Structure 1
């Protein structure tokens, strides 16, 4: 005689054979603000970088700016994502600020990408279909737009779209 557990297992196995599995939507971490001060080792190069952009009061801007390590499983130099907090580098409502992805080379900050983005960040859990992709996407959320950044074999791809849900 077949027990009830065996019957349930057979039913479950039968259902799995009949039902087709579809792709599931990606699960992503909740966007979090990045609010860590710029690391000490990056401050002098970042100050020189801002001075080269003619940012007034570069030292105070470095103090006000926030940073997070750029998580790049593909390797390469250590990179940092820096949100430049300055009246000339942000929208009036502070929703979007100049965001710099950079590395240090010969004690100078070298920009890999610069764009305007919101202050919340999350990391995707899938690799998009882009030629030469080497990383999971990083998403920056503002009230008006979402910016995505991925690492490819030849550089960073930056794209943006409206933060509003499609209708």
Structure 2
């Protein structure tokens, strides 16, 4: 038997830095074991997220736009925001949040190099390259080297080795 929980997203804005999405459970249902494709179950119109729990597996499906998502709902204790970055030293301002069931969020302040989430499961550092992965630039004027054709030697018939003709005894005696 599989348990399906439906959730509604509730945005929570934190100090003009980030908007966190928390989950509020709306309903639960049980699914018969006959359904083999559990990850294809999507939420209905009234809900945003569905979490399907099987025996050894768990799926999160949903419809919401976010900059980052966590692999499961986390309890966020506080958020660390870098204030001063000098080489190897970073000063972080910690904002106490203490919010349960955070699934993801949207950054409001985009000029941060990274943001740190302190959760019950440890810390999660989210860098801007995680949100906006760098796109490699392609150079159009790269010249390809012309391939040189290998010279093939012409096949010729084998020359027979010249053998000295054996002379008869009569010609040698004279």
- Please indicate the TM-score interval, normalised by the length of the shorter structure: under 0.3
- Considering Cα pairs closer than 8 Å and 6+ residues apart, tell me whether 1 or 2 has the greater RCO: 2
Q: Looking at CA atoms only, which structure, 1 or 2, has the larger radius of gyration? A: 2
Structure-2-length-normalised TM-score: 0.21
Structure showing the higher strand proportion among its residues: 2
Structure-1-length-normalised TM-score: 0.22
